[in-house]
Structures are given as C-alpha cells and as structure tokens.
Structure 1
Amino acid sequence: MPARVTTLKELAAQLDLSITTVSRALAGHQQIALKTRERVTEAARQAGYVPNTAARTLVSGRSGFVGMVLPIRGPNLVDSFLGEFVTGLGEGLVSHGTDLILAAAAQGQSELSVLRHVVESGRADGVVVTRIAEVDERLAYLRQRNFPFVAHGRLLDTDFAYNWLDTDGAHAFGEAFDMLYDLGHRHFGLVTIAEPMTFRHLRQDGLAAAIARRGDPSVRLDVATAPRFDRGARIQAINRLLHAVERPTAIVALFDELALSVMEEAARAGLTIPRDLSVIGFDNIVASAYAPPGLTTFDASIRQCAREIGEMLLTIIGGRPAAPLTRLIRPTLVSRASHGPALTGKN
C-alpha cells in the first residue's frame, strides 16, 4: 500500500509526474491521456488523497461541479422520472471526477432566478436543463451568457442552436397508434397535460400524423387535459373519458404516471384491461412493470440518457465543440399486458 498523502505535491512526487499533470488528471481534463488519468485517480484513491476543491478551482478556473435546478411543483421533491434522471446524471458525472449540485426552486420561485444564482455564483462549470418549455427563458439566458449547458429536450424553434439530447416521442406515439389501429381500435383517447411543454407537442403531433396517414374517417380521438400536478383535475379529466356514453377503446397517455392513473380509474369503473380498454404509456418507469396487469409503454432509457447528457456536458466544458452536440434517441416499445384487440361492436 502506498504511503498516505495529504498534498498534491506529495502525490505528484509519488507518481513522478508534474503537479500540473496530476491536478489536470484529477480534474478529468481530456488533454491528459486516459491511461494517465486512470493511473493518477487510482493512486489518489489508494493513498487516501482528497483534492482541495478551493485550490483546484484557483488553479484550473473550474469548480468541478455541474448544476441542475429541481423545481418543487408537486407533493414530492422528485417524481419517478426525475429520480431516475438525477441518478443517471450523477453516475455519469462522478465516473469522470465531477460532482452534481442540485438547487431547489421552491413553489412560487422561478427556475430562472435559481439558475442565475448557480451560474453567476461560479459554483458550477455547466448546467443540465430538463423539461423544456415552448418558450424557454432558461435556455435564452444560458445562450446569452455563453455558459455550457445541455438540454434534455428540444425547443420548437429550430433556429436556436444549442446542445440537446432527446427521445423521439413523436415516433413512439405514431407507433402506438399504428399498433392499436391494427388491433381494430378506432376510438382513441389521449390523456395529456396543460403545461406548454415541447415534449407534449411533439408526442401529440406524432399521434396526429399517424392518424392522418391512415386517412380513415372512422377514427375518432378524444383528448383529456389537466394541469400536471393537479391530481384532482387529472382524475376528473380521465373519468370524463371513461364514463362517456361512447368511451374510447384505447387510451394513450403522455407519460406513465398518467397511464397508471387511467388504469386505476378504469379498475374503479369496473373496466377490465385490456378486454374493455387498452392503455399505453411512455417512459417505462419502475412502477409500470408492477401495476396490474403490467403497463405497455415505451422505454425512454431515462437513466442512460442522463449519463450521456453528463458526458456531453463535460465534453463541452472541456473543449467547446465548434457545432452544438445533439442526439435523438428512439424509444423502444415494452409490450406488456395493458393492450389488446378492440372488442367487436365497441366504439
């Protein structure tokens, strides 16, 4: 076992490397060869050396942290989606020697004000932005500041050049419709949210495009909309679909939490899934596999996407690529037991 070291100078001497090389290796600089970075990191671990963050910041001009703002809008600090996302992001960053700062935006407090504080305090070298809105002031601010960031999601305005990673919800919703149509369904329901989020538009547009491609006048679509974090309004909207004189035989939900609410309310209404009603969600959160009879959904690879976003951001911080980094991931259908053929004679 190597002797315990307490200073960067001692660690550098033990490795027969310059202090600058060791400092940059511990900070994950891409200019340092991967083998050297791995050697330095392993030696530091074995010797019990913990870098002095303040000193490292003075030397490198970087904090070694990446920031993310968590808005507190519902009863829980982190929902199922964000829980998986934050876990993946943290995993992706820590594997490169960078830590994640989470800054909470309290109810009634704008995310932009919290984001400004994270950026202007110098606490983070870059930030990750989630749940992109139709007009997103956070991205406009970061672009104007020329501050490194990656968005999980896309703007509707394609003239705005920025770094993003997204899942192709439009394709998934088109695929969901085609599958249900081929099973004989003609009366569809869509459960969505009222908030002006771009993922809502993209998924709904994918569904509308798939309907239009069929050119079948017998296809009918009923839409139930409610504020995302208003459970009472959500339940009312879902029940308007389920208790209509002519109810849908298949419902596609914007994301899994809405789909699970549909399944719960359907059970209360005495409907059997999938005999009486087919339900499809999006995200493949953990609960979707256990809610009887098992929710058919699309796996958005939340955790893996977050890891990749972390790696993209570190690349941007380290080298500032000439062109924005972008990636569109196609979700995978996870076929469980919540969808099936339409009953003959059903609307």
Structure 2
Amino acid sequence: MTTRVITLKELAASLDLSITTVSRALAGHEQIALKTRERVAQAARQAGYVPNTAARTLVSGRSGFVGLVLPIRGPNLVDSFLGEFVTGLGEGLVSHGADLILATAAFGHSELSVLRHVVESGRADGVVVTRIAEVDERLAYLRERGFPFVAHGRLLDSDFGYNWLDTDGAHAFGEAFDMLYDLGHRHFGLVTISEPMTFRHLRQDGLAAAIARRGDPSVRLDVVTAPRFDHEARIQAVNRMLKGPDRPTAIVALFDELALTVMEEAARAGLDVPRDLSVIGFDNIAASAYAPPGLTTFDASIRQCARAIADMLLTVIADKPAAPLTRLIRPTLVARASHGPAPQTRS
C-alpha cells in the first residue's frame, strides 16, 4: 500500500473490513483473529495512520495513556535504575497501543499533589507507582479513589490489598551472605539509606535472617546509612566503615550505586577489591559491569519487570480483576570479580 490513509474509515475501506473490526484489531482485542490483527497493524504502519486520540477517548472513555510521577530529588531527573525502568515501561505500553505520560514533582513539592493532578485531570487511565515507602500516602489515595494502579514494590502492611510487582531482595541478600560466609568472611558491612523505603527493610531483613540461620556468634555486622541523594554524606558514611580500626572484610550495598561508591573509596584508600575487601551490590545497572574489577551484583531485571508492570496495569484497566494482581521476581546473581575469599591477614 503506497497511499497514505488519513482516517480509520479509509483504512477500513482499503482492507475491506468494517470500521469496528479495524478499531478492535488496532486495540489488540483477542476476539479478532491474530492474522487479521497483524494485517491491520501492517497496513496502518505503511499508511502512516495515527489514531485520533480525542475520538477514541469520547467513544471508550479512556485516554490511552498511563501516568508515572518522577520526583526530582537529585542532580539528575532520571538515575540509572529509573532510566531502565522508564524504558521498559514505555516499551510494554507501546506494544499494546498505549502511551506513557511522565509528570515531574519538583524538589520541595509533594509527589502526591502531582499524582492527584494526573488522576483527577483524566489524562491517564491508570498509573504506575515506584519506590514504595513504609507508609505510602500515594497508594492509600489511589486505593481510596478506586483508580487503577500497579506498584513496583510492596508495603510492609500485608493487609493492604493492591496490585504490585517486586523483586525478592530478601532472598538475594540472604544468598549474598551465604556465598560470602562460605568464602570465610565473618565480619560484614551493610551500606544502606536513611529513607523509610520498604525495599531497604526487606533486603536488610533477608540479610539478618541469613545470619541468624547460621547461628555463628563470630559473625559481625556493621551498618552505615546516608540519605539516598546526598553524595557527600554517602562518601562520608562509606569511609567511616572503610577507615575504622576494624573494618569488615565484605560489604553488601543496598543497590549498585552505593556499591560503586564503596569500590571507588576503597581504591582511594589503597584497598584492593577483592583481595582486601569483597563488595556486592544489587540491580545490575550498566555501570556495574565496567567499574573495575567488575561488580558482583544481582540482576533485578529492571526493564523486563517494567514491561510486565505495563501488562499488569493494562489488564487491571481493561478487566478490573476482583483480586489484586501480584508477582514476586527472584533476582539472579551476576558473579563478577568484586568478591573473593576472606583475607587471612591484614597489613
């Protein structure tokens, strides 16, 4: 087909199909045969057909958009984790014919107020909520409002029913401890954040449970914390651990950015990773593979999880399932070169 089709009616006529069939095929309805959906999609691409969003909204009552609020809390709008997450979310939505709206909450402004505006303006059919707090007013608002949403993460309150997808950080931190313990480490460090985020608690609890299972009184755990987006405070916290009179032989960081800071400061202090110090992170962001000697971490499948969240949310919007949709993804160990046997002697 070489002629540009401008309207849905013209596209349907060119395919000798009804307008309803073409509309449903473009929306991905499973009632329409797969071959027909593929044929319609190919013709629409070749013709440069773009759906009339305003007309679709009037007919269906839906905008075709999903919202995500991005709080500006550091020097960059999007960090490594959110960059992968937003990419995967956009990919997942586009594959179903939906689009993503990004709304920013400037520093000092309430993220909830921005979320309210997205919801109450009718701009989005549903929203995705990331980085869940211990007590999260965003989820309480969405649940009370009855607005479709999926959270990337879990609340500590298990009685609160909602749609979520999460990675099993507790299992990963337990696995990290067991691996390091079997390599002879008995003095551990944990570098974490001060913000009341549930993923912080879940990962820390997984580490504590693994230590308790061993029942070894010689195991020690030192913990330092810093505000997530305060780079100087992060460096100071790491150096308190590294330059103390009795530093750990292995450090587990809450996520990769903290682990990379540990490796940078260890190098400045003249420590060799992993000969003098083992370091393990979480998330497997792109930089973890290139920071020498290569960070051992856990792959949280960020992009794939975001795609799955897009599928879940569109299901929630279209089908309104009676029971909440939930998925727990087990991260996989990516063993690089930043961990090794415990040093037997120290200079």
- TM-score normalised by the chain length of structure 1: 0.97
1:341 alignment partner in structure 2: 341
Aligned Cα RMSD in Å? 1.3
1:269 alignment partner in structure 2: 269
- SS across alignment from 1:158: coil
Unpaired runs of at least 5, structure 2: none
Cα drift, residue 2 of structure 1: 4.9
Cα drift, residue 33 of structure 1: 4.1
Mark the CA change 1:30 to 1:66 in structure 2 (over 3 Å): closer, same or farther. farther
Cα drift, residue 26 of structure 1: 2.2
How do 1:1-347 residues align onto structure 2 when only pairs under 5 Å count?
1-345=1-345
Q: Deviations over 1:296-334 (max 9, x none)?
A: 000000011111111111111111122111110100000
C-alpha separation between the residues in 2 aligned to 1:40 and 1:317?
24
C-alpha separation between the residues in 1 aligned to 2:22 and 2:117?
31
Answer yes or no: is the 8 Å Cα contact 1:25–1:32 preserved in 2.
yes
Q: Deviations over 1:221-270 (max 9, x none)?
A: 00010000011111111000001100000000000000000000000101
Identity among equivalent positions (%) equals 88
C-alpha separation between the residues in 2 aligned to 1:237 and 1:158?
32
Which one-letter code corresponds to 2:313 in the other structure?
L
Cα drift, residue 172 of structure 1: 0.2
Cα drift, residue 64 of structure 1: 0.9
Q: Deviations over 1:95-146 (max 9, x none)?
A: 1111111111100111111111111111111111100000111111111111
Answer yes or no: is the 8 Å Cα contact 1:238–1:262 preserved in 2.
yes
C-alpha separation between the residues in 1 aligned to 2:3 and 2:75?
50
Mark the CA change 1:164 to 1:30 in structure 2 (over 3 Å): closer, same or farther. farther
What is the aligned length? 347
Cα drift, residue 18 of structure 1: 2.5
C-alpha separation between the residues in 2 aligned to 1:222 and 1:49?
60
Which one-letter code corresponds to 1:106 in the other structure?
A
Name which of structure 1's ranges 317-326 and 262-271 shifts more when overlaid on structure 2: 317-326
Cα drift, residue 346 of structure 1: 5.5
- SS across alignment from 2:295: coil
C-alpha separation between the residues in 2 aligned to 1:30 and 1:60?
17
C-alpha separation between the residues in 2 aligned to 1:196 and 1:120?
28
Unpaired runs of at least 5, structure 1: none
Name which of structure 1's ranges 204-213 and 337-346 shifts more when overlaid on structure 2: 337-346
- SS across alignment from 1:236: helix
- TM-score normalised by the chain length of structure 2: 0.97
